Amino acid sequence: MSSRKGQREAARVVREQLAREKRRKRTLWTSVAAVVVLVIAGLIGWSVFRSQQSDSFTAPPGANDPGTGIVIGGGPVTIDLYEDYLCPACKQFQDTSGATINQLVSEGKAKVVFHPVAYLNRFSTTEYSSRSSAASGCAAKGGKFKEFTDLLFAKQPAEGSAGLSDDELIDIGAGVGLDKGDFGSCVREGTYRSWTEHVTDEASKAGVTGTPTIKVNGKDVEDRSPQGITAAVAAAGK
């Protein structure tokens, strides 16, 4: 009798162990499924967020089709300039080779796509790179992008400073003939800040890691001198 009772007790223990093991496996698989769902949801959410980011910008007049830069001129060879208004090397490039690029454009040999990126925000206390780039979009809206860009480099503030204030940017715009009311509102409201983010993000995706970066028909130009730029455009135009 006691033997049968012991057998029943042993069977009960085994059943309970099997039941516990079954519950443990069920809980484990439920947890794994939940994690998978969360990962998938996260990936979908990130994809949606990135797509919304890339689409939620307004490019100023004069921008190229993908909205990554302002087009100047209409020559057969394309010069892409990736520059940051706070970048000392960009100012030096403009001082040295800017006139040559202007000449190539005026002679109908090349067009320029100027990409005002904001890589150097960390070198100002007011995100000057983003503010100045967005202001250049406002200048493009008013038809004075090139004139405004030239003056921004001429009046470039020092790295590590606050940069030019919005009032100073607006005064520069007024100095090149922009309507102070419309241009000023555009600057103060940051109308083209999302465009600046788009330009900068797309430049990074294109492998641009520093400024200035100069490309002629998509190829990096290492010799940034007037002679180097002229030679690169001539070779690309053959």
How is the beta sheet containing 77-83 ordered, strand by strand?
70-72, 110-116, 77-83, 213-216, 219-220
Give the pLDDT mean for 75-100.
Answer: 98
Cα(85)–Cα(117) distance, integer angstroms: 8
* pLDDT tens digits, 166-220: 999 999 999 999 999 999 999 999 999 999 999 999 999 999 999 999 999 999 9
d(CA 88, CA 77): 27
Q: Of 229, 236, 232, which Cα lies nearest the Cα of 103?
A: 229
Domain ranges of the chain: 1-56, 70-236
Q: What is the spatial distance between Cα 219 and Cα 214, in angstroms, rounded to a whole number? A: 8
CATH level 3 topology of 70-236: Glutaredoxin (3.40.30)
For 16-35, write each residue's pLDDT tens digit: 777 777 777 676 666 555 54
The whole-model pTM stands at: 0.77
139 Rama class: left (phi>0) / alpha (psi -120 to 50) / beta: alpha
CA gap 209, 222 in Å, rounded: 14
Residues 46-63: pLDDT tens digits? 344 344 444 689 999 999
Q: How confident is the model at residue 132 (pLDDT cuts 50, 70, 90)?
A: very high
What was the pLDDT predicted at 19? 73
